A and B are shown apart, each in its own frame.
Chain A
Amino acid sequence: MSAEPITPAASEGSFLSAALSNRSFVAGLIITGLIAAMAIVSFVWTPYDITRLEVADRMLGLSWEHPFGTDHFGRDILTMIMIGSRNSIAVAIVAVGIGMGIGVPLGAWAAARGGLVDEALMRFNDLVFAFPALLSAVLITAIFGPGAINAIIAIGIFNIPVFARVARAGALAIWPREFILAARAAGKGKARITVEHILPNIASMLLVQGTIQFALGILAEAGLSYVGLGAQPPAPSWGRMLFDAQTRMMVAPHLALFPGFAIVVTVLGLNLLGDGLRDVLDPRLRRER
């Protein structure tokens, strides 16, 4: 008869079982879990010391001692990938954090206020969108100097309008609902309604966008490192490793293979996770499956 209500994670149990029966969610979760575990393990243990250079062992192939081989300084590739994952993940987390932390309040504010505030914020958003993100990030790091921190800020800034837009669109769909009217009739102000009613109802949307931006952040960081504007040597990073491998492609293709593989797998895992989350959190899609 009436429109189907949004199921409030009907109960925690059914959310979990729905999530665990979703293939792409489970696959994404396993892949991202492995990558995250690898980053965490690298803090306490790595197969070799990253700072030790064994020039005699340079550019070794795959072996039991060096499963992924060694690079042109004789460093163990597996160790470098493990430590490099910390950098990629940290950059992506902080960049998504900046984007969410600033973008979501801006978007929610625009939706709550409407009128001129909304118009001004969203046109400014359009302006930021109009810049090609990666090029502008290159510009920012070129001006303020290369380094992980500046890369984070550059990537974070371009996440702000993405989250602002998603938050605003989600909030605008919730505002006309009757329970918001009821809350207003109960005298609650716009800020309070936003925190109590709007944000919990758009949280799933933001979470999905978050995983996608996370994957894009990792790609962007790899891109910046590749052109030498991300993490600076000797700190290993996947993008930097790709750059170093480039000139030795003919001699030792495995140098490029493994960091490239790491980037692809991480991004794939995050995208699968985001895709799965969207299906699990959207009750309409869940029913159709």
Chain B
Amino acid sequence: MALLEIEKLSLSIGRVPILKAVDLSIGAGETMGLVGESGSGKSMTALTVMQLLPAAAKATGRVTFDGIDVLAAPEAAMCRLRGNDIGMVFQEPMTALNPVKTIGEQVAEGIRWHTGASRADAEASARRMLDRVGLPEAKFPLTRYPHQLSGGQRQRVVIAIACALKPKLLVADEPTTALDVVLQKQILDLLRGLVAEDRMGLLLISHDLAVVTDMADRITVLRHGEVMEEGETAPTLAAQVHPYTRQLAEASMHVPARPNRHAADAAGDNLLEVDAVVRDYPGRRRSPFAPAEKFRAVDGVSFSMKPGQSVALVGRSGCGKSTLARMILALDRPTGGDIRFLGSSLTAKSEAELKPFRRNMQVVFQDPYGSFNPRHTVERLVAEPLHLLDRQPSPAERREMVADALHEVGLRRPDMDKYPHEFSGGQRQRISIARAIITRPKLVVADEPVSALDVSIRAQVLDLFAELNQKLGVAYLFITHDLTVARAITDEVMVMHDGRIVETGRTDAVLDDPRSDAAKDLVAAAPDLKRAIRRRMMEQG
């Protein structure tokens, strides 16, 4: 009998149906990949297994874990199960740990609670577990606090907590979405190793088909709370029998059409010149009187861009790419070096002198939720950069310009009277792009513009970027850790590592044949659906 058996599970919160007759089973030691877009009910399925649903949720059907009827089990029985037989790994390692407890305490906590072990015994097991997840005590003492660890290390602690009691089932809800590709690979390798060693069942929830293909024996595709398709991972994704599975697979390999790719005028003047730019941040002060140690975020970066050119800046999180972008946008001043835009230096200009330059460079941010003032209408949000124009448009002209910009990004005129929360993530990113292009800038800096979006939405937004590049001739600086994005819409790529640019070249050339170690790491770690399917098929013969 299977370890976890979900039959005809339906779930509604209030009057909203979330899941409809979901069937899913996981055998001991088996990895099940649960894929679907945001809002498809993936996380709710996981929470049902743990019985951690919100109070207003009503579940019907059968969920059997190891012979126990989970839906009917009393809270006390579930408390014994959670953390002991079922472990959970969350998406956001920043918030999944208690910031005021040491990592040792947090791993030991569950062990003591479930086994009644003494403090010393629990600490010894915590030490062993942290060592297994790659945090040996010699380098990472148990007395560390979460804020002293990096994102990847914190996720290792979360995994250590989940696996400390050798659960029979591990539920991992988007465990690597908040991490860059290199860390993602490390964490996935770690999970795979632990699952195999302890013969745990793994329910891996992800929106990334390539990740699931790499990890899962079987796959369940979920959409609007219904199971679309279920089967062995590689054959299912290779055959793509169900239209929705095909749609997802195609979206995750999507490359927008860009007929005149090299529209950039190679002979013309440079649009942007970055010359030996350095940015230091004050670091920790060892004593009240000692000068603060400096942390160099950007270390002597130089490059240039032509008008209409689309350039990717790729690198791992924390490599300094966002800091560099802020300096280019004159939102932050470099400690040293010079940035020239349209032939003049930006570094020493006052806010008033920057006005004509700001008009020509705009920005699109990663988080479509955080980049709008929630209290303004779309019209006001999109019109924000208009005050950079020398002549202020009349209210009627303003509305007209906003309507044009919305039209260009595929939204409708009536949308301008709505508020941002009335839109989905993808639509919000379109609003964000409308705001960026309303002044007809020559350069748009996009900081991870699609990494918070679902695959199918991501494909549409990438199409939009490509289209605007063709139509308006706007140059892009794309900041990303996702090589698929870089490959899809950029001509040139720069690889950044520890504040320096370590490799530049044509996108295809660099990604197919990386030379620097940093670029090699990125390419090797990048999930690739085609490659993953091929490897799986080979393994299975």
* A8-B419 contact in complex given A185-B329, A185-B331, C-beta closer than 8 Å: yes
| Chain B residues proximal to chain A, CB less than 8 Å | 38, 91, 174, 326, 329, 331, 351, 354-355, 358-359, 361-363, 365-375, 384-385, 387-388, 419-421, 425, 432, 435, 452
Given A5-B421, A200-B375, A201-B375: A186 in contact with B388 (beta carbons within 8 A): yes
B365 touches A178 (CB 8 A): yes
Q: Residues 157-194 of chain A: 1 if any B CB is under 8 Å from the residue's CB, otherwise 0?
A: 00000000000000000000111011111111100000
Question: A197 on the interface (CB 8 Å rule)?
Answer: yes
Is A143 in the interface zone, CB < 8 Å from B?
A: no
Indicate whether A3 reaches chain B with its CB closer than 8 angstroms: yes
Q: Across the A-B interface, how many residue pairs have beta carbons closer than 8 Å?
A: 83
Contacts of A6 in B (CB 8 A): 374
Query: What are 16 A-B contacts with C-beta separation under 8 Å?
Result: A1-B38, A1-B174, A1-B452, A2-B369, A2-B425, A3-B370, A5-B374, A7-B374, A177-B370, A178-B371, A181-B363, A182-B432, A183-B373, A187-B354, A189-B351, A197-B373
Q: Please name all residues of chain A whose beta carbon is closer than 8 Å to the beta carbon of B363 when the two chains form the complex.
A: 181-182, 185
Q: A186-B385, A187-B388 are in contact. Are A178 and B331 (CB under 8 A)?
A: no
Alpha-carbon distance A7/B375, docked complex (angstroms): 8
Residue of A nearest to B37 (CB): A1
CA A178 to CA B174, docked complex, whole Å: 24
Give B441 Cβ to nearest chain A Cβ, in Å.
Answer: 10
Contact A178 B367 (CB under 8 A): yes
Complex CA distance for A203 and B174, rounded to whole angstroms: 36
> Measured between C-beta atoms, what is the minimum distance from A274 to chain B in Å?
22
Q: How large is the interface on A (under 10, 10 to 19, 20 to 34, 35 or more residues)?
A: 20 to 34
Chain B hits for A251, CB < 8 A: none
* A182-B351 in contact (CB<8A): no
Interface assignment of A10: CB less than 8 Å from any CB of chain B: yes
Residues of chain B lying within 8 A (CB to CB) of residue A178: 365-367, 370-371
Whether A181 touches B331, Cβ cut-off 8 Å, given contacts A8-B375, A201-B375, is yes
For A7, what are the chain B residues with a Cβ–Cβ distance below 8 Å? 374, 421
CB nearest to B441 among chain A residues: A185
A184–B445 CA distance with the chains assembled, in angstroms: 14
Chain B residues closer than 8 Å to A8, beta-carbon distance: 374-375, 419-421
Q: Does the CB pair B370–A185 fall under 8 Å?
A: no
Which residue of B358, B419, B452 is within 8 Å of A186 (Cβ)? B358
CB-defined contacts of A181 to chain B, threshold 8 Å:
326, 331, 363, 365, 371
How far is it, in angstroms, between the C-alpha of A133 and the C-alpha of B368 when the chains are bound? 45
Whether B370 contacts A179 by the Cβ 8 Å rule is yes
Docked Cα-Cα span, A200 to B329, in Å, equals 26
The minimal Cβ–Cβ distance linking B398 to chain A, given in whole angstroms, is 14
Contact: A182 with B375, CB < 8 Å? Answer: no
Cα distance, A18 to B384, chains bound together (Å) = 31
Q: Are the CB atoms of B421 and A179 closer together than 8 Å?
A: no
Q: Quick one: given A10-B421, A201-B375, are A5 and B369 in contact (CB under 8 Å)?
A: yes
With known contacts A2-B452, A10-B421, A182–B387 Cβ distance under 8 A: no
Provide the bound-state CA to CA distance between A178 and B419, in Å: 17
**Assembly CA distance A181 to B384 (angstroms):** 12
- A162 → B minimal CB distance (Å): 25
Contact B375 A187 (CB under 8 A): no
The complex places the Cα of A1 from the Cα of B358 at a distance, in Å, of: 33
Q: How far is the CB of B268 from chain A (nearest CB, A)?
A: 25
A7 (CB) vs chain B CBs: closest residue? B421
Q: How far is the CA of A258 from the CA of B329 in the complex (A)?
A: 65
Cα distance, A182 to B366, chains bound together (Å): 12
- Cα distance A10–B91 in the bound complex, in angstroms: 27
Question: What is the bound-complex CA distance between A197 and B421, given in angstroms?
Answer: 16
Contact with B384, one of A9, A10, A188, A189 (Cβ below 8 angstroms): A188
List residues of chain B with CB within 8 A of the CB of A184.
Answer: 331
Given A2-B425, A7-B374, A197-B373 in contact, is the A182-B365 Cβ separation under 8 Å?
A: yes
Q: How far is the CA of A5 from the CA of B452 in the complex (A)?
A: 14
Min C-beta distance of B298 to chain A, whole Å: 17
Contact of A186 with B370 at beta-carbon distance under 8 Å, contacts A1-B38, A8-B421 already known = no
Q: How far is the CA of A227 from the CA of B351 in the complex (A)?
A: 54
In the complex, chain A residues whose CB is within 8 Å of the CB of B373: 179, 183, 196-197, 200-201
Q: Which of A2, A7, A179, A196 has the most CB of B within 10 A?
A: A179
In the complex the two chains form, what is the Cα distance from A174 to B369 in whole Å? 14
Closest to A184 in B: B331
Q: How far is the CA of A79 from the CA of B385 in the complex (A)?
A: 59
Instruction: Verify B371–A179 contact, CB threshold 8 A.
Output: yes
What separation, in Å, do the CA atoms of A8 and B369 have in the docked complex? Answer: 12
Q: How far is the CB of B433 from chain A (nearest CB, A)?
A: 12
Closest to A185 in B: B363
Give bound CA distance, A177 to B355, whole Å: 22
Known A10-B421, A201-B375; contact A187-B370, beta-carbon cutoff 8 A: no
Please name all residues of chain B whose beta carbon is closer than 8 Å to the beta carbon of A182 when the two chains form the complex.
363, 365, 371-372, 384, 432, 435
For A190, the closest partner residue in chain B by CB is B351
State in angstroms the CA–CA spacing of A155 and B404 once bound together. 54
Q: Which residues of A contact B369 (CB under 8 A)?
A: 2-3, 5
Considering only CB atoms, which chain B residue lies closest to A4 in the complex?
B369
Scan residues 1-29 of chain A and give those whose CB is less than 8 A from a CB of chain B. Answer: 1-3, 5-10
| CB pair B375 A186 closer than 8 Å | no
B425 neighbours in A (Cβ, 8 Å): 2
Partner of B372, one of A179, A188, A189, A196: A179
A201 to B372, CA, bound (A): 12
Q: How far is A9 from B363 in the complex, measured between Cα atoms in Å?
A: 27
Query: Quick one: which of B91, B361, B366, B384 has the most chain A CB within 10 A?
Result: B384
Residues of A within 8 A of B174 (CB): 1
In Å, the complex CA distance between A2 and B361 comes to: 27
The docked-state distance in angstroms from the alpha carbon of A7 to that of B373 is 10
A130–B355 Cα distance when bound, in Å, is 44
CA distance A178 to B368 in the complex (A): 9
**Which residues of the other chain, B, contact A197 by a CB distance below 8 angstroms?**
373
Q: Which A228-270 residues have C-beta < 8 A from chain B?
A: none
For the complex, give the distance between the alpha carbons of A201 and B370 in Å: 13
